[in-house]
Amino acid sequence: MKTAFFINYSSEAFTGYWNGKGRTFQPGETKLMPEYLAYHFARTLANRELIKLGKERSTSPKFPEQVPDFMEQLNKAYKLDDDPDEPIGDDKDDIDVLMRVAEKNRAKLPEGAQGVAHKKPQELPEVDGDELPPATPAPTRTAPAFEGKPDEAKLAPQKSQ
């Protein structure tokens, strides 16, 4: 798996979020992490700094390489690792780790959360059989039986004029 450095180049602490968990980076702090995570944090930091500079229109571009203001900020915060010979694991391991972490996060509910227990079926009052109305068959729609002869005049083909 590729690794990259995330650098908090700003003068303030930066908190980035991944899977609902925050990680705070102090000003000037540099961390080596998986490439996709470093890119995610760098993109978020670049957006924050662009907003501070009053360049809201340059944030979160669909094609980042076409927006020089965004790329300038992103390149300050994101650097690919120069040593590709030293991977921190392969892609399969990382997916397994992420899946285990996600399962643990779902298993632990925050304090005060009810989880699924609050969705149990309601207790219904008991009903005696004597109180039920007598069972009647459902009404049916049947056409009345035809009695008589068909009207020959209506069945005959009409002549065109």
Q: Is residue 116 part of a domain?
A: no
Query: Residue 22 is part of which domain span?
Result: 3-107
Task: Please report the pLDDT score of residue 133 as a whole number.
Answer: 64
Question: Stretch 96-112: mean pLDDT, rounded?
Answer: 47
Q: Give the residue carrying structure tokens 């300050």.
A: 76
Of 50-64, 71-85, 100-114, 128-142, highest mean pLDDT: 50-64
Task: Please report the pLDDT score of residue 58 as a whole number.
Answer: 87
Task: Please report the pLDDT score of residue 88 as a whole number.
Answer: 54
The number of distinct structural domains making up the chain is: 1
Task: Please report the pLDDT score of residue 80 as a whole number.
Answer: 87
Q: Is residue 145 part of a domain?
A: no
Q: Is residue 62 part of a domain?
A: yes
The whole-chain average pLDDT of the chain stands at 75
Q: Is residue 114 part of a domain?
A: no
Q: Is residue 75 part of a domain?
A: yes
Residue 87 has pLDDT above 70, yes or no: no
Calculate what percentage of the chain has a pLDDT beyond 90.
31
Q: Is residue 125 part of a domain?
A: no
* Longest CA–CA separation in the chain, Å: 100
Assign 121 a pLDDT band (cuts: 50, 70, 90).
low
DSSP letters for the chain: --EEEEE--SSS-EEEEETTEEEEE-TT-EEEEEHHHHHHHHHHHHHHHHHHTT-GGGSS-SSGGG-HHHHHHHHHHEEE-S-TTS-S--HHHHHHHHHHHHHHHHHSPPTT--TTGGGSPPPPPP--GGGSPPP-PPP---PPPP-S---HHHHSPPPP-
Buried b (16+ CB within 10 A) or exposed e, 65-92: eebebbeebbebbbeebeeeeeeeeeee
Q: d(Cα 5, Cα 34) in Å, to the nearest integer?
A: 8
Task: Please report the pLDDT score of residue 120 as a whole number.
Answer: 53
Compute φ and ψ for 83, nearest 5 degrees: -105, 85
Question: Stretch 42-51: mean pLDDT, rounded?
Answer: 94
Calculate what percentage of the chain has a pLDDT beyond 70.
61
Q: d(Cα 72, Cα 80) in Å, to the nearest integer?
A: 15
Q: Is residue 134 part of a domain?
A: no
Q: Is residue 69 part of a domain?
A: yes
